[in-house]
A and B are shown apart, each in its own frame.
Chain A
Amino acid sequence: EAQVTQNPRYLITVTGKKLTVTCSQNMNHEYMSWYRQDPGLGLRQIYYSMNVEVTDKGDVPEGYKVSRKEKRNFPLILESPSPNQTSLYFCASNGAGDEQFFGPGTRLTVL
């Protein structure tokens, strides 16, 4: 089954404790991206990757890092999380010009 998986689905952590949210897709898509969704602000893109070893900033990249060492994986790294990074995070992937497939979401709370 074609899908995007994210882990963990829920995470409560404390300020400053490094964390990684994993994202994996099984569709051999070149393009992957991360979004965060906050009430009243819609979906905002954090980072995107157009292929292995090619990443670029989206609209809200501050406080986040990503890596794309292999085509299927695109982890999101928060080196020193802060409370303003409490949000619902989505990973997505798509082929050229086609629909985006979204993961189930990761609900992160930073205390």
Chain B
Amino acid sequence: SQQGEEDPQALSIQEGENATMNCSYKTSINNLQWYRQNSGRGLVHLILIRSNEREKHSGRLRVTLDTSKKSSSLLITASRAADTASYFCHPHPGSNYKLTFGKGTLLTVNP
């Protein structure tokens, strides 16, 4: 099954700082998605970047994708305490097959 590996496993920053999380994957993809999970809640979709795109923005989120390196990064700018959550990347093959998730990056934003 296709899954991403997030790095670092945990990240702690101060409010107002930027947070960068990385994702690596192994096989070809149609798109790559990032999700957020607040403690004990279901995952929520944040942003999707297609394999022919290199960068995408949504509000304070910036996602990059390098298909040659099979990697992606998620940047959250001007972080807030409410951004505290786990973040998961999800490399999607384009056909609905075994869709799985890695262990995520736990982001803690300290007020």
The chain A residues found within 8 Å of chain B, CB to CB, are 4, 30-31, 33, 35, 40-45, 48, 50, 56, 58-59, 88, 90, 92, 94, 96-105, 107
Contact = CB atoms under 8 A, between A and B. Distances in A.
A97 B98 contact: no
Interface SS majority for chain B: loop
B64 interface: no
A88 to B, nearest CB: 7
A97 B101 contact: no
Contacts, number: 69
Given A42-B103, A99-B33, A100-B45, A31 B98 contact: no
A50 B35 CA distance: 21
A33 B99 contact: yes
B31 interface: yes
A33 B104 CA distance: 19
Nearest to A102: B42
A106 to B, nearest CB: 10
Interface stretch (B54-62, B66-74, B89-97): B89-97
B1 interface: yes
Contacts of A45: 1, 98-100
Contacts of B28: none
Nearest to B88: A43
A41 B43 contact: no
Given A42-B102, A105-B41, 18 more contacts: A4-B42, A31-B99, A33-B99, A42-B104, A43-B101, A45-B1, A50-B96, A58-B1, A58-B100, A88-B40, A97-B96, A99-B33, A100-B35, A100-B45, A101-B45, A102-B44, A103-B42, A105-B40
Nearest to B42: A102
B96 A44 contact: no
B44 to A, nearest CB: 7
Contacts of B33: 99-100
Nearest to A50: B96
A105 B44 CA distance: 12
B48 interface: yes
A85 to B, nearest CB: 18
